[in-house]
């Protein structure tokens, strides 16, 4: 299994925020939240891609764009038609939320909720829907009698299994899990993470896993995209990212995780200072107000997410899928490729 199934190119998403009465009277413009800025990323068939970054950096907005819940303001999100194999786009990716309870209808039994998804997408003749519901419950290790029960009768971990079963009911190519275990007890988290791993292998799914938890990223993912204020600032194979984080923000993030072995933790300070408002991202490199090694250039010139100079075909993500890419004027590869 190889090749990209989805290419995100130059995607931006802005939200118009609220303006106070005084600002409105003074004729001040509506504030604009820069949730995503020029994000380019290719997602490979069958991979587990982690997306990490502080709260508010745009992870959920990116997830929502990937599943079509948001339309980007700029850029494109394109599926590989061969990978889609005739599936409609809206069914190709399905989301698993942090709190599946919020998205489960409390008045529908679990069986009816799953049957509804199968029926809406016309994935089985009516006579086979019951068997498909049993199969879905079995895939997420819930007992068959779960079909007759209501969401409130289940524990948090079981509800997450129901959320996953509902996503699988649409027979997607890709699951996008947005903090799917952060609301669960630690012991239950491990079970759900293992379920994702098992399903991915069994169903050859592509998995995008959004989390704050770098230990989970290390355990579960093959590749990681690190986001900061709406931008991807570093992308690398998980092993490479943990062994050799190149962006000062990533270095700070890893520093802040006490359980990541000392030997693999980068030198230098953890991140200090407040996250700037996405209403007014700093000019130049958005990380410069917090960056311990910023130079004058960082305040005015935005560093691009450059491909690895060692990779063939420098210009595009697609041509360098294994590249360790980083958006920093001072990162080793940027220094190697920047014009003199």
Ligand X SMILES: Nc1ncnc2c1ncn2[C@@H]1O[C@H](COP(=O)(O)OP(=O)(O)OP(=O)(O)O)[C@@H](O)[C@H]1O
Do the Cβ atoms of 249 and 233 come closer than 8 Å? Answer: yes
Residues with Cβ within 8 Å of 179's Cβ and at least 6 positions away in sequence, in order, are 98, 210, 211, 212
By CB under 5 A, the count of residues binding Mg ion is: 1
Tell whether residue 287 is a contact of ligand SF4 (CB under 6 A).
yes
Whole-angstrom distance, CA of residue 265 vs CA of residue 276: 25
Q: Between the CA of residue 177 and those of 6, 166, 192, what are the distances in Å?
A: 16, 13, 11
Q: Between 15 and 101, name the residue whose CB sits nearer to ligand X.
A: 15
Which of ligand X, Mg ion, ligand SF4, none lies near 288, with the C-beta cut-off 5 to 8 A by kind? ligand SF4
Whole-angstrom distance, CA of residue 198 vs CA of residue 208: 15
Tell whether residue 303 is a contact of ligand SF4 (CB under 6 A).
yes
Whole-angstrom distance, CA of residue 251 vs CA of residue 272: 12
Do the Cβ atoms of 274 and 295 come closer than 8 Å? Answer: no
| In the complex, least distance from residue 288 CB atom to ligand SF4, rounded to whole angstroms | 4
Q: Candidates 49-57, 81-89, 156-164, 280-288 — which segment interacts with ligand SF4 by CB under 6 A?
A: 280-288
Which of Mg ion, ligand SF4, ligand X, none lies near 58, with the C-beta cut-off 5 to 8 A by kind? ligand X
Q: What b/e string do you get for 212-243 counting C-beta neighbours within 10 Å, with b at 16 or more?
A: ebbebbbebbebbbbbbbbbbbbbbbbebbbe
Which of ligand X, ligand SF4, Mg ion, none lies near 307, with the C-beta cut-off 5 to 8 A by kind? none
Do the Cβ atoms of 247 and 329 come closer than 8 Å? Answer: no
Query: Torsions phi, psi of 126, nearest 5?
Result: -50, -40
Tell whether residue 278 is a contact of ligand X (CB under 6 A).
yes
Which listed residue (33, 110, 142, 192) binds ligand X by CB under 6 A? 33
Residues with Cβ within 8 Å of 339's Cβ and at least 6 positions away in sequence, in order, are none
Write each residue from 228 to 267 as x if it is in contact with ligand X (CB under 6 A), else as -, in one continuous string. Answer: ----------------------------------------
Q: Candidates 2-10, 40-48, 49-57, 237-245 — which segment interacts with ligand X by CB under 6 A?
A: 49-57
Do the Cβ atoms of 31 and 20 come closer than 8 Å? Answer: no
Tell whether residue 282 is a contact of ligand X (CB under 6 A).
no
Classify burial at 304, counting beta carbons within 10 Å of its beta carbon; exposed 0-12, middle 13-18, buried 19 or more.
middle
For residue 37, the surrounding DSSP H or E stretch is: strand 32-44
| In the complex, least distance from residue 98 CB atom to ligand X, rounded to whole angstroms | 8
Which of ligand X, Mg ion, ligand SF4, none lies near 56, with the C-beta cut-off 5 to 8 A by kind? ligand X
Tell whether residue 291 is a contact of ligand SF4 (CB under 6 A).
yes
Residue 1's nearest CA partner among 170, 216, 173, 208 is: 173
- Residue numbers 43-102 binding Mg ion by CB under 5 A: 60
| In the complex, least distance from residue 210 CB atom to ligand SF4, rounded to whole angstroms | 22
Q: Candidates 82-90, 98-106, 169-177, 326-334 — which segment interacts with ligand SF4 by CB under 6 A?
A: 326-334
Write each residue from 210 to 249 as x if it is in contact with ligand SF4 (CB under 6 A), else as -, in one continuous string. Answer: -------------------------------------xx-
- Residue numbers 53-82 binding ligand X by CB under 6 A: 53, 55-61
Angle at CA of residue 18, ends 16 and 19, nearest 5°: 115
Tell whether residue 288 is a contact of ligand SF4 (CB under 6 A).
yes
Whole-angstrom distance, CA of residue 238 vs CA of residue 330: 21
Which listed residue (253, 254, 298, 305) binds ligand SF4 by CB under 6 A? 298
Q: Where along the sequence are the contacts to ligand X (CB under 6 A)?
A: 15, 33, 35, 53, 55-61, 278
């Amino acid at each position: 299994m190889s090749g990209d199934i989805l290419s995100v190119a130059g995607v931006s998403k802005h939200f118009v925020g609220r303006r106070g009465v005084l600002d409105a009277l003074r004729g001040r413009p509506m504030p604009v939240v820069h949730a995503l800025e020029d994000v380019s990323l290719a997602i490979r068939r069958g991979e587990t891609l982690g997306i990490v970054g502080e709260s508010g950096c745009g992870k959920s907005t990116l997830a929502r764009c990937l599943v079509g819940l948001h339309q980007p303001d700029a850029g494109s999100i394109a599926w590989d038609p061969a990978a889609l194999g005739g599936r409609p786009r809206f069914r190709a990716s399905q989301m698993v939320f942090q709190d599946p309870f919020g998205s489960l209808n409390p008045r529908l039994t679990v069986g009816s909720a799953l049957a509804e998804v199968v029926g809406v997408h016309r994935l089985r003749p009516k006579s086979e829907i019951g068997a498909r519901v049993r199969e879905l419950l079995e895939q997420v290790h819930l007992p068959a009698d779960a079909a007759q029960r209501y969401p409130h009768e289940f524990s948090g971990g079981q509800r997450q299994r129901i959320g996953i079963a509902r996503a699988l009911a649409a027979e997607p190519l890709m699951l996008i899990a947005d903090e799917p275990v952060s609301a669960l007890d630690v012991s239950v988290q491990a079970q759900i993470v293992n379920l994702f791993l098992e399903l991915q292998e069994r169903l050859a799914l592509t998995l995008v896993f959004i989390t704050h938890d770098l230990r989970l990223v290390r355990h579960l993912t093959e590749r990681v995209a690190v986001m900061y204020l709406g931008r991807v600032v570093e992308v690398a194979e998980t092993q490479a990212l943990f062994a050799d984080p190149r962006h000062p923000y990533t270095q700070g993030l890893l520093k802040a995780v006490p359980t990541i072995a000392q030997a693999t933790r980068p030198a230098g300070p953890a991140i200090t200072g407040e996250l700037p408002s996405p209403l007014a991202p700093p000019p130049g490199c958005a990380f410069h107000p917090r960056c311990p090694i910023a130079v004058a250039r960082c305040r005015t010139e935005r560093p691009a997410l450059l491909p690895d100079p060692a990779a063939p075909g420098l210009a595009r993500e697609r041509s360098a899928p294994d590249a360790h890419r980083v958006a920093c004027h001072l990162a080793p590869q940027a220094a190697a490729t920047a014009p003199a």
